[in-house]
Structure 1
């Protein structure tokens, strides 16, 4: 494949026939895609070095601008030639569905994102969402690591599927919360509205269909169906951390997850045997959360900013 033609493709300057030629070449081999990526990288290095060469913007434009550019190109092709246009539009859309994006919520914060189909996703602190810039015509598939809440736009012809390390959640028009942490092997899903199918990726053939207020947990690699016991667990979308019925150790682990810090307890044998109640506003920060905990517990703590670690020393009474 001629490098000049590939550079025209990167700048969106190809003719209809040239575009088909490049797309066929890319589909023929993964090595061809890697070669194009290297050409893109080298071209941008040349620009930084001051060489007079048109800037290649394929990897630097925003999601919305890229989507708009491709949509406009597809529309122009459809108007120019019905037969070839439909073929090229399908090819372009197919490649866009394979263009995966990723977004991660900052530590100590939650955030929301609206996907191209209108689905809204709330991400809890540290959660990562992977999704295509455009969904395919058959399914809507995303990946999640961490805790997220989904409010899915109904589309009976295109199921919405959430992949995690342990289970797949197939949405049947719903609002639900999902927690998937491969590091600790924790998985749970709670259904607030609609219906939800959970399939175990670790054990073939194991699946459940959830009704509202159902919760499913992964226990020793198997799914266990329960009922939601405390709706306040899902108030994190409002910026609140629920501490109801948690032990001191569970509260500390929750602080670690929400604030992205490591917390060690110098004398864990002296941890108080208490169950806590109430909610903490996450945006007030980890120091505020620890000071609230000190109201009912006698401990001191120090911070090591270099290692992002908090050391707790419990004073036994």
Structure 2
């Protein structure tokens, strides 16, 4: 298989036809699968070698495969999907579609109109069977990155519990887990309009590089200094002055574990900055953070529960 084509696939720029060609090639033999994984590892290592430019202390992690990348079946209701590592190529059927990504996994799909969607852990995307034919509406519970196919005649809407986003053709990220009372949108390219979930009165319009957050009714809009935190879709978890409590919440989703803290005062650490690879595992991440924020932790035999306590 042509290396340039494989790298297009890893970067998420391959066409639908190219994706299918690659997936068919991978499934043809174990030798092809091993070659694919080898190229993917080379690509990931090169990606991770990028230096993070920041005055703050940044945790640099070596690519040690401690837990490994958990690859399990994404629950896909009413769809057919080609499955390879964490990528899923969507084939539309005649039934309403719901795609659910369990904790500890990510997924990539291509919708009927050509829109590409990356879904983060514990996220669900739902859309009607006539998607792309007269309407382009999706419902999101969780986090997703969208590269929306341009269509001026049919706007693209992302509906969440708190807000909705209207676009024509653009790239943006939405994080809106149900019951979190938080909604965040980051615009990478194009223009988007933000609305309340229950009416069509525009709250604000985002331009390139702008971020909008709604935290239980308290809204803010700022210029985003970096796209680092959007690299979750590449298997990189980047934090910049993020509270320790928020990091623990994300780690629970990313690694499908339950984290318990013995004393709430251990959560009073609101300035954590670092760049982590998914493959390094949660143990390495917590151990690195604990160097500046003293705490100990233990993991049960099943590796699905972590207890954090005072050092």
TM over 0.5: yes
The structure showing larger relative contact order (alpha-carbon pairs under 8 Å, at least 6 residues apart) is: 2
TM-score, normalisation: structure 1? 0.64
1:231 aligned to which of 227, 230, 233:
227
| C-alpha separation in 2, matches of 1:274 and 1:61 | 42
Residues 112-155 of structure 1: CA deviation (Å, up to 9, x unaligned): 10011110000111111112344253211111111100000101
Displacement of 1:310 in angstroms is: 1.4
Contact 1:150 1:177 (8 Å CA) reproduced: yes
177-186 or 123-132, which deviates more: 123-132
1:292 aligned to which of 288, 291, 295:
288
| C-alpha separation in 2, matches of 1:220 and 1:243 | 22
Look up the match of 2:217: 221
Structure 1 residues 281 and 61: alpha-carbon distance in aligned structure 2, compared to 1, 3 A threshold: closer
Residues 241-272 of structure 1: CA deviation (Å, up to 9, x unaligned): 11221233232222123223221111232456
SS at 1:146 equivalent: strand
Displacement of 1:65 in angstroms is: 7.5
2:201 aligned to which of 198, 205, 221:
205
| C-alpha separation in 1, matches of 2:122 and 2:103 | 5
SS at 1:278 equivalent: strand
Structure 1 residues 106 and 284: alpha-carbon distance in aligned structure 2, compared to 1, 3 A threshold: farther
CA RMSD between the two structures: 2.7
| C-alpha separation in 2, matches of 1:279 and 1:295 | 15
1:185 aligned to which of 157, 181, 184:
181
Give the unaligned 5+ runs of structure 2: 1-76, 82-89
| C-alpha separation in 2, matches of 1:218 and 1:167 | 8
| C-alpha separation in 2, matches of 1:304 and 1:203 | 47
Structure 1 residues 265 and 139: alpha-carbon distance in aligned structure 2, compared to 1, 3 A threshold: same
TM-score, normalisation: structure 2? 0.65
| C-alpha separation in 2, matches of 1:290 and 1:129 | 30
Look up the match of 1:277: 273
Look up the match of 2:306: 310
Look up the match of 2:237: 241
| C-alpha separation in 2, matches of 1:161 and 1:223 | 20
| C-alpha separation in 2, matches of 1:251 and 1:221 | 22
Structure 1 residues 247 and 172: alpha-carbon distance in aligned structure 2, compared to 1, 3 A threshold: same
Q: For this pair of structures, how many residues does the alignment match?
A: 227
Contact 1:203 1:221 (8 Å CA) reproduced: no
Structure 1 residues 61 and 202: alpha-carbon distance in aligned structure 2, compared to 1, 3 A threshold: closer
Look up the match of 2:149: 153
| C-alpha separation in 2, matches of 1:144 and 1:60 | 17
Give the structure with the larger helix fraction: 1
Displacement of 1:185 in angstroms is: 0.8
| C-alpha separation in 2, matches of 1:158 and 1:206 | 18
| C-alpha separation in 2, matches of 1:283 and 1:210 | 34
198-207 or 158-167, which deviates more: 198-207
Contact 1:109 1:239 (8 Å CA) reproduced: no
| C-alpha separation in 2, matches of 1:65 and 1:154 | 20
| C-alpha separation in 1, matches of 2:276 and 2:92 | 40
